[in-house]
Structure 1
Amino acid sequence: MKTIINTEKAPAPIGPYNQAVLKGNTLYASGQIALNPETMELVLGNIDDETKQVMENLKAILESAGMTFENVVKTTIFISDMNDFARINLVYGSYFNEKTAPARETVQVACLPKNVNVEISMIAVL
């Protein structure tokens, strides 16, 4: 049995998916982009603000499942321009303890939903 996780503190899905699915003690969080959950408007002022909104959306999803970033075991970061990696990494890294940070990969892609610059998904375990 799986449990669907959805919270109003993160953007509503914009397609046929849920914010996250909890299966057993493992949470699979869908990729988040920089949508403000209150307005459903994109936060695209700069890559730092965009990444912060993505991480705040993921934080809300984790919290709705009774978890924190300490529970995250794997992340995937999709970016439209590898030249933004260092700035994305600084913001992303501020949400984790470096000694217990999750495994991850970062991939440059041709295009992301709504032409954003960064999307991040996570897997977390209770």
Structure 2
Amino acid sequence: MTTRDVVFPAGRQELYERNRYSPAIRSNGFLFVSGQVGSREDGSPEPDLEKQVHRAFDNLNAILAPAGCTFDDVVDVTVFIVDPEEKFERIWNGVVPEHWGNAPYPTVTAVGVTWLYGFEFEIKVIAKLPEASGN
């Protein structure tokens, strides 16, 4: 079996080890990022919806950066939203454009869910690694 090439954001490795998953794995020229939520440093949810979405993107960027990526390198996005009928417009048209960048945009799948461990929003991405990384 191949050893996984894991990417950890600064200062949060203990949180991922406690929850028993990798924040991101480099493989075959891509970075596969686990779902990121709007968690505070201790792992608890940010209570305000808009702030929670901003924090989810901050947490995502904290994983992309050590791999040499930005959101511009993201090719595929999956978002999970609790109660999307009520919250989708606030999230998608209110907060997401601040983090999304310019066209052409990545592919997107949006999924409505009933539970996210106390969170309202989660974002999972696949990014193309920079060519210079050799992956």
Tell me the TM-score normalised to structure 2 length: 0.83
Cα separation, partners in 2 of 1:53 and 1:9, compared to 1, 3 Å = farther
Alignment of 1:1-126 (within 5 A): 1=2, 2-8=4-10, 12-13=15-16, 14-37=18-41, 39-44=42-47, 46-82=48-84, 83-89=86-92, 90-113=94-117, 115-126=118-129
Long gaps (5+) in structure 2: 130-135
Aligned to 2:132: none
- Indicate the SS of the match to 2:57: helix
Task: Measure how far apart 1:97 and its partner are.
Answer: 2.2
Cα separation, partners in 2 of 1:120 and 1:10, compared to 1, 3 Å = farther
Deviates more, 1:1-10 or 1:28-37: 1-10
Long gaps (5+) in structure 1: none
Task: Measure how far apart 1:34 and its partner are.
Answer: 1.2
Task: Measure how far apart 1:64 and its partner are.
Answer: 1.2
- Indicate the SS of the match to 1:61: helix
Task: Measure how far apart 1:9 and its partner are.
Answer: 5.1
Count of residues paired in the alignment: 123
Counterpart Cα distance in 1 of 2:57 and 2:76:
14
Deviates more, 1:10-19 or 1:77-86: 10-19
Counterpart Cα distance in 1 of 2:103 and 2:12:
27
Task: Measure how far apart 1:70 and its partner are.
Answer: 0.4
8 Å contact kept, 1:47–1:117? yes
Runs of 4+ in 1 over 3 A off after TM superposition: none
Counterpart Cα distance in 1 of 2:11 and 2:64:
11
Higher helix share: 2
% identical aligned pairs: 28
Cα separation, partners in 2 of 1:96 and 1:3, compared to 1, 3 Å = same
Bigger CA radius of gyration = 2
Taking only aligned residues, the RMSD between alpha carbons, in angstroms, comes to 1.7
Task: Measure how far apart 1:41 and its partner are.
Answer: 3.0
Task: Measure how far apart 1:92 and its partner are.
Answer: 1.7
**Which residue identity does 1:71 align to in structure 2?**
D
Cα separation, partners in 2 of 1:51 and 1:9, compared to 1, 3 Å = farther
